[in-house]
Structure 1
């Protein structure tokens, strides 16, 4: 029995030691500087971001979210699904306004999955907002198979085909939306 546990214990120790995000309370949430500055970008903007999931889970999966900025707006609306909100008795779906929609996801630098600006963005923002209002799993979160943080943008993308959203392979749970 001990011989079987030793490799698993070693693997767990390795994954924990190699994680740069060991404490969510002190992990970076600074802006990555990849979003258009709303004070300098007068046009509408739609962006979808993804960053490694927290801690060792980031080796396998990403967390994704949607940011929209209407033409002339001074802030973005960020929409995401977060599991720990459900554990606290709150809806998993969370929306808020910020000038920095590209913040690190608890130590993990985000990457753009999709970026649309100008008139095309202005035309699809109302459709995105409508899809978000009708998201069927707003109060649910299950790591696997979903619904989770990746199910949400995938579902919005299915409702708004003009978004032309192609979710990355590591967006585990995005297939739940199908």
Structure 2
């Protein structure tokens, strides 16, 4: 009985308290009431594609809209072929054709929320990665209409996380508030990244752990993530994000 009480206290402090704090901060801020009132234009984070001959890969994340914006973010992928004059953006969405290509500016606000750059790879390495990324996107198992569930997944973050696990050379994991990122496709219980540097164990994204060079030490509870970032020392806080280097 004492163990159960202590476990509930830990869950409250580690997962629920930060979630309530994030919801409180969200409640006192101004937000667009409708998607049509939100800002969707470029945040000016990326240079014009024509300014560089180099290939590039970017992973972005931004807090989403509505009530879920208090605790959850939306992630997407941006690529640029060597010598290309434009970027290509890939999102997973919950309406129409799920995998959208260039439906927004590559570095656009999402529901008026500024994007966060999660990872950037440029030059010859990006040139080698782009075909692998495109292959992973083509292989994503929930790319058809209806292949989207807000919680626990598969959602927009499940899609990007799938690509990051399939192409681990990108060297990134999504932030702790990317709810749905830990949902493994096709009912998988365990997954080892292709380079064997990260291990993921989960019960349909609801309860699990991730361990490894990129993930550090993570414990997942109902889509919320808490843990330690070892590669870039920091703390991963549910709903609030990452604090550290």
Q: TM-score, normalised by structure 1?
A: 0.83
Which string of whole-angstrom CA distances, capped at 9 and with x for unpartnered residues, describes residues 75-115 of structure 1? 111111011x1xxxx331112377x4001112111010111
Matched residues in 1 for 2:172 and 2:47: separation? 19
Q: Assess, with a 3 A threshold, how the Cα gap between structure 1 residues 127 and 97 changes in structure 2: closer, same or farther.
A: farther
Aligned to 1:123: 128
Aligned match for 2:81, one of 70, 93, 106: 70
Matched residues in 1 for 2:51 and 2:108: separation? 18
Q: How many residues align?
A: 160
Higher strand fraction (1 or 2): 2
Aligned to 1:92: 98
Larger RCO (alpha carbons 8 Å, 6+ apart): 1
Does 1:141 find its partner at 2:148?
Answer: yes
Q: C-alpha displacement at 1:15, in angstroms?
A: 6.2
Aligned to 1:3: none
Aligned match for 1:111, one of 109, 116, 133: 116
Structure 2, gaps ≥5 residues long? 1-22, 185-190, 192-245
Give the secondary-structure state (helix, strand or coil) at the position aligned to 1:79. strand
Q: C-alpha displacement at 1:56, in angstroms?
A: 2.7
Does 1:156 find its partner at 2:168?
Answer: no
The runs of at least 4 aligned residues of structure 1 exceeding 6 Å deviation read 14-17
Does 1:56 find its partner at 2:62?
Answer: no
Contact 1:137-1:147 at 8 Å conserved across structures: yes
Q: TM-score, normalised by structure 2?
A: 0.61
Aligned to 1:7: none
Contact 1:19-1:55 at 8 Å conserved across structures: no
RMSD: 1.9
Matched residues in 1 for 2:71 and 2:27: separation? 14
Which string of whole-angstrom CA distances, capped at 9 and with x for unpartnered residues, describes residues 120-148 of structure 1? 10010000001001110112110111000
Matched residues in 2 for 1:15 and 1:71: separation? 40
